Chain A
């Protein structure tokens, strides 16, 4: 089966391109980015603020299993219904710097649509770190799991 979500990250470039085909009409795909209660469900986050307009701000918060609160925020630079969102994204209280995201929504047919997400980072090194983050978190989670198992044995 062909993979629905594709990542394009060339070496020595400070960008990542994520593409995804959806079995959804374009308006429903776009709606998933607009309504806070829907965003909360698929992003697994709490939506504190989501101003869907030019120069609007957004602010999400997640709480990890250890009880730590992580804050994500940015500014919506441009938003065109069923077409485009241009925004910044930042993880607060981390060494990671803000990134610029271009989200392009396209119809494929009446019942299918496509998302092209183009993320630009300040440097190649930062891009590589962000790409490595799920890997690092994976090791961390495995380590925490191991620790909780060991603690039960004691």
Chain B
């Protein structure tokens, strides 16, 4: 099985990307996640299952509820968060350098 291809297929779906975005700033239960979509609850559950199987999400038991959270190391592998953070600062500093060169 090509796990890497599966991860990319997982994030190719817009609903699954929206789920990742939702979970980027907080952990949520399946019910709370489903409440954000018009899609039927079983469909959202299927998306959560796919994201969990390819390790983009982690499950945590909280009483009777299952809480979903991002698995940062796996998401980073695909989207490389740190790289986008780096690029944001790189662009700012490039601008700073260009502006200040006029004063040399």
The segment from A51-59, A66-74, A132-140 found at the interface with B is A132-140
Closest to A130 in B: B85
A145 part of interface (Cβ distance < 8 Å): no
Contact of A42 among B26, B81, B92, B103 (CB under 8 A): B92
B20 part of interface (Cβ distance < 8 Å): yes
Q: In the complex, how many residue pairs between chain A and chain B have their CB atoms under 8 Å apart?
A: 97
B21 part of interface (Cβ distance < 8 Å): yes
B86 part of interface (Cβ distance < 8 Å): yes
Q: Is the CB of A6 within 8 A of B101?
A: no
B3 part of interface (Cβ distance < 8 Å): no
Tell me the count of chain A residues lying within 8 A, CB to CB, of chain B: 39
A36 part of interface (Cβ distance < 8 Å): no
CA distance A143 to B20 in the complex (A): 13
> Which A residues touch B79, using CB under 8 A?
135
Q: Is the CB of B17 within 8 A of A139?
A: yes
Contact of B100 among A5, A29, A138 (CB under 8 A): A29
Q: Is the CB of B96 within 8 A of A135?
A: no
Contact of A24 among B17, B18, B89, B104 (CB under 8 A): B104
